[in-house]
Structure formats: C-alpha cells, structure tokens
C-alpha cells in the first residue's frame, strides 16, 4: 500500500501572483489565511510528516488538489475582477457557515482553529476587499 504511486501536489515557493504579495492584507488576516487556508489553497503547502504515509497521503494530496482547484491564493493576480469578487464572496460564506477550514483540519493544525471573532474578522476583510475592487 505504501508503494502505490500517487502524485503529490507540487510546492512552489515563488508565487508572484500570490494574494499576500499583491494585496495589502492586514497582519491578523494574513496570519489566519496562512494558518487556516494556505496548506490547501495555495502552492505553498506545508506537508506534515504523516502526509507521506499511505493511506493518509492519498487523502492529503486529494484535498490539496481539490482545494487548489477551488481556490488558489498563489494565483490571485491571474484572476479576473469578477472571479476575485466571486472568490471573496465564497470565502465569506464558507467561513461564516463554519465550512472552512474543514472540521478535521484544526485537529492536526492548532493554529487553524478559527474563533467566532476570527471568522467575523475574515468576513469583514473579504467584504472590505470586495468594496475596494469596485
């Protein structure tokens, strides 16, 4: 089972189109995005040690691929204005509804646990950025 091949999503450290490199994001929001979102929603994934052990690696790699397909902060500047607005609206809804980060993620990543205050701050930030884009 361990030798069954599976492609690990690539890690790319230099991402010139990244949200955090191109938008003035407040430090508290930047920190939350990095700790709660970036592993699955950027090219800067930090794989934990257990992500190289089957069958867990299959799940981690699959979640990372799907997360990047849904939203990849590393490609922010490549998005159209309307796509950015849609992404921000989706982030707001997912965070407000408690759907993101996924329930199991904070169990192994303590910094990813978002309080209600954190969720409200993220939602306020997305709404503020949406207004800036208009």
The DSSP string of 1-23 is -TTS--PPPPP-S--TT-HHHHS
Least confident of 12-16, 31-35, 101-105: 101-105
Residue-range domain boundaries for the chain:
19-133
pTM for this entry: 0.91
CA distance linking residue 107 with residue 113, whole number of Å: 8
User: Going by C-beta distance under 8 Å and a sequence separation of 6 or more, which residues neighbour residue 132?
Assistant: none
Q: What distance, in Å, lies between the first and last C-alpha atoms of the chain?
A: 51
Task: Label residue 101 by pLDDT band (50, 70, 90).
Answer: very high
Instruction: Write down the pLDDT at residue 2.
Output: 62
Q: What Å distances lie between residue 16 and 21, 45, 54, CA to CA?
A: 7, 16, 33
Q: Is the peptide bond before 36 cis (omega within 30 degrees of 0)?
A: no
**Residue 6: pLDDT over 80:** no
């Amino acid at each position: 089972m361990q030798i069954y091949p599976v492609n690990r999503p690539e890690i790319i450290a230099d991402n010139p189109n990244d949200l955090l490199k191109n938008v003035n994001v407040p430090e508290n929001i930047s920190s939350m995005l990095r700790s709660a979102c970036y592993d699955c929603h950027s090219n800067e994934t930090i794989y934990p040690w257990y992500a190289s052990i089957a069958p867990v690696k299959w799940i981690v790699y699959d979640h990372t691929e799907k997360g990047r397909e849904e939203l990849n902060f590393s490609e922010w500047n490549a998005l159209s204005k309307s796509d950015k607005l849609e992404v921000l609206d989706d982030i707001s809804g997912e965070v407000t509804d408690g759907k993101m980060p996924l329930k199991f993620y904070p169990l192994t990543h303590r910094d990813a646990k978002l309080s209600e205050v954190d969720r409200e701050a993220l939602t306020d930030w997305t709404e503020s950025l949406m207004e800036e884009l208009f």
